[in-house]
Chain A
Amino acid sequence: MTARLVFLGRLEDVAGTPDLDVEPGPLEALLARLDPALAVELLGERVRLALNGRLLNDPGGIVLTDGDELAFLPPVSGG
């Protein structure tokens, strides 16, 4: 039973890894187990969340289940 957190852009540097396998469960509980400095960045106002490749408009109350992938997407800077 695992879910995966994916850290894009500069969040990968903050996390020190591109992704992290975690126990499934409520997002709040997952974040509480991370380094507080990383959790603060992940909850930043400009960071968007995508669950299994779909952007979330309201990330409140998310519960990850087995096999879910939750991506943290900072502001883009492409092209």
Chain B
Amino acid sequence: MADVRLLPETFDPGAELAAFTAHHKNAGGIVSFLGQVRAEGDVEALELRHYGPMTLPGMQALAAEAGRRWALGGLLILHRHGEMRPGDPIVLVAAAARHRRDAFAAADFAMDHLKSESWFWKREKTAAGWRWIEPRPQDHADKARWGQAFQHM
């Protein structure tokens, strides 16, 4: 049911969403979220590192948990790793369901956990060089909205 991919190269969010939508004609609603590299300030590039034995398995466990919590027809989770430029897509989540509330909730849940509880490390490049980004307290507060029952990490 879930299509979960960790991508080393850029992807076309429009084409991916169109393919997902075409594949889930029975769904009454599809909710999607696209995260992209902000074009602001003096950030020239962003890099996401992952850890092979854990990052993709963790994303698959997250998708399985979303499938247990909500009645979904399908779930798409695409996440980049490697170096990206401002405007590049980072993450695409789409949830298909008979009823919109399940789709909204599942996409929201998946994003909060991808941000706060998936095995990615981020650094930014400016004229001064590369700098590792520390987690934001807000990401953990967002995750806490969903309770403590699920710890896939």
Residues of A within 8 A of B121 (CB): 8-10, 74, 76-78
Q: Which A residues fall within an 8 A CB radius of B?
A: 6, 8-10, 12-13, 50, 52-53, 55, 69, 71, 73-79
Q: Which B residues fall within an 8 A CB radius of A?
A: 35, 48-49, 51, 53-54, 57, 79, 90-91, 111, 114-123, 132-136, 139, 153
Residues of B within 8 A of A75 (CB): 134-135
Looking at chain B's contact residues, the main secondary structure is mixed
Residues of A within 8 A of B57 (CB): 53
Q: How far is the CA of A9 from the CA of B122 in the complex (A)?
A: 7
Residues of B within 8 A of A74 (CB): 121
Chain A nearest CB from B50 CB (Å) reads: 8
**Inter-subunit contact A8/B35 (CB<8 Å):** no
Q: How far is the CA of A55 from the CA of B57 in the complex (A)?
A: 12
Complex A-B: 16 CB contacts under 8 Å: A8-B119, A9-B132, A10-B121, A10-B132, A12-B49, A50-B51, A50-B54, A52-B53, A71-B54, A73-B51, A75-B135, A76-B120, A76-B135, A77-B132, A79-B116, A79-B118
**Inter-subunit contact A69/B118 (CB<8 Å):** no
**Inter-subunit contact B51/A79 (CB<8 Å):** no
Q: How far is the CA of A2 from the CA of B20 in the complex (A)?
A: 45
**Inter-subunit contact A79/B115 (CB<8 Å):** yes
**Inter-subunit contact B134/A79 (CB<8 Å):** no
Chain B nearest CB from A7 CB (Å) reads: 10
**Inter-subunit contact A78/B48 (CB<8 Å):** yes
Chain A nearest CB from B9 CB (Å) reads: 18
Residues of B within 8 A of A55 (CB): 54, 153
Residues of A within 8 A of B117 (CB): 76
Q: How far is the CA of A77 from the CA of B46 in the complex (A)?
A: 12
A12: nearest residue on chain B (CB-CB)?
B49
Beyond A10-B132, A77-B122, 10 additional pairs, beta carbon < 8 A: A8-B121, A55-B54, A69-B53, A74-B121, A76-B118, A76-B120, A76-B121, A77-B132, A78-B48, A79-B35
Chain B nearest CB from A47 CB (Å) reads: 12
Chain B nearest CB from A57 CB (Å) reads: 10
